[in-house]
Amino acid sequence: MAVTAPNAPPSALPEGLRDAILAWYDARGRSLPFRGTTDPYAVLVSEVMAQQTQISRVAQAWNAFMATFPTIRDLAAASPADVLRAWRGLGYNRRALNLWRAARVVVDKQGGQVPSDVAALERLPGIGPYTARAVAAIAFGAPVGAVDTNVRRVLGRTIGGAIDAFQASELQWVADAAVPADRPADWTHALMDVGATFCRTARPLCAECPARTRCRFAAAAAVDARTRQEGRTSPFRSTSRWLRGRIMDRLREVEGAGWVVIDAPIGDHDQTSIARTLELLAAEGLVELDPASRLSARLPVG
């Protein structure tokens, strides 16, 4: 099947690529709790959790979150504070509020039914092109390609011979064209697994990859000099991200709607730094500030 897009160089899907990747996935794909469901709400929760978070952490958190909010109506009816408490350990807390807001939109305006259309999914708070397509493919069987960094590497290398073989608009066309019509959900999971397990940014494990005999990158024995292993950032006690996490943790520990005094110091942060961070968290809707104290706050109650 030809894979071409407007303004893109012609490129053909290597013969047998889909079969090789899917056969490996059937035998060796990662077993994750949320892969056993096609319920649109459950899939939406897992995909929002997976944004910028290691899949192992998502696997641990998803079951607990679904037990707390088993339906989208349960989530929509919850308070922001309850949702943020249930989100503990996942980080990037704005995702939790966006998921809650999306649930309210679905319940209030769409009868509690998660939309199947990509464009409609993208209109939900916090839902971008990748998440919308992943939900459409996994929950509704839509033949659309969900493109994140893992998928970009796999398709860029196997089809184009390099990670940067396609521009963003071209890559989306290539991803959509590569989806097998009968297995869009499995294909979405399989590409993620191949990207995470073998097709790494630097030093890809080509010799072990199930796509190696059908991959243009591996066949050419190419080394993309532009790919560099991105070092993982650690939560240092002096960083604002570390402080934000500690403040949110303290607020989550308190039941009810009472104000919590955030005493200084926290790590390397003094009262001024804590007050500034509380203001930023309040501006994002993650906390409410006590009018009587610049160092007192609580999780939002409504």
Could you list the active site residues?
Answer: 47
Cα separation, 200 vs 229, in Å, equals 8
- Gap between the Cα atoms of 151 and 162, Å rounded: 12
How far is 285 from 11, CA to CA, in rounded Å? 46
Cα–Cα distance for residue pair 136/231, rounded to 1 Å? 32
288 three-class SS = strand
Residue with tokens 């005999």: 213
**What is the spatial distance between Cα 220 and Cα 223, in angstroms, rounded to a whole number?**
9
Check residue 224 and give left, alpha or beta (phi > 0: left; psi -120 to 50: alpha): beta
Q: Which amino acid is at 82?
A: D
Query: 265 preceded by cis ω (within 30°)?
Result: yes
Instruction: Determine contact, residues 249/282, Cβ cutoff 8 Å.
Output: no
User: If you ran DSSP here, which 8-state letter would residue 160 be given?
Assistant: I
8 A C-beta contact, residue 117 and residue 97? no
**The 3-state secondary structure of 173-216, one letter per residue:** HHHHHHCCCCCHHHHHHHHHHHHHHCCCCCCCCHHHCCCHHHCH
Quick check: helix, strand or coil at residue 266?
A: strand
Angle at 205 between CA 202 and CA 208, to 5 degrees: 170
